[in-house]
Structure 1
Amino acid sequence: MSDSGPGGGGYFWCLRHHRVETGDDVCPAQYRLGPYATAGEAERALETVEKRNAEWDAEDARWNGEDR
């Protein structure tokens, strides 16, 4: 049994509706994050974005020789 959502397209987090969407019931790409392998990962999409942004900001600071 696959956990990749209907049609194998994965799960998306909709920024407009604040919900997990799958299959044919997804908003346009400009309003969604993903695909994610599970609904749980999609539900945590904003946390994942925040964590990655913090990591990238820290890496940029190191690259630029800034102390953060």
Structure 2
Amino acid sequence: MSDDHSNEWYYNVKTGKVEPYEGDKASERLGPYSSPEKAARALEKVQERNEAWDNDPKWNDD
């Protein structure tokens, strides 16, 4: 495993900001993402995935 984290970006859910690998603790962040732009869309991606899972009959436990 490589120790190069130069292309890792995270979305900090506490601050609402994108940060590099050397940021806040892991429990406060989503990622890694391959670019700051992708990290900035982290909450949108979470919402998209939640909606997809909510509408997937394989995951419907009602």
TM-score computed with the length of structure 2 as normaliser: 0.80
Rounded to whole Å, the distance in 2 between the matches of 1:65 and 1:20 is 35
Say yes or no: does 1:34 pair with 2:58: no
Which stretch of the first structure deviates more once superposed, 7-16 or 47-56?
A: 7-16
Q: Does 1:55 align with 2:52?
A: yes
Unaligned runs of 5+ in 1: 1-5
One-letter identity of the residue aligned with 1:39: P
Larger radius of gyration: 1
Q: CA RMSD in A?
A: 2.1
Residues 1:12 and 1:65: Cα distance change in structure 2 (over 3 Å): closer
Gaps of at least 5 residues in structure 2 are: none
Write the letter of the residue equivalent to 1:15.
Answer: V
Q: TM-score, normalised by structure 1?
A: 0.73
| Count of equivalent residues | 58
1:1-68 mapped onto 2 (5 Å cutoff): 7-8=5-6, 10-24=8-22, 26-59=23-56, 62-63=57-58, 64=60
Cα deviations by residue, 1:6-60 (Å, 9 ceiling, x for unpaired): 8435000001111001032x1111110000000000000000000000001111x
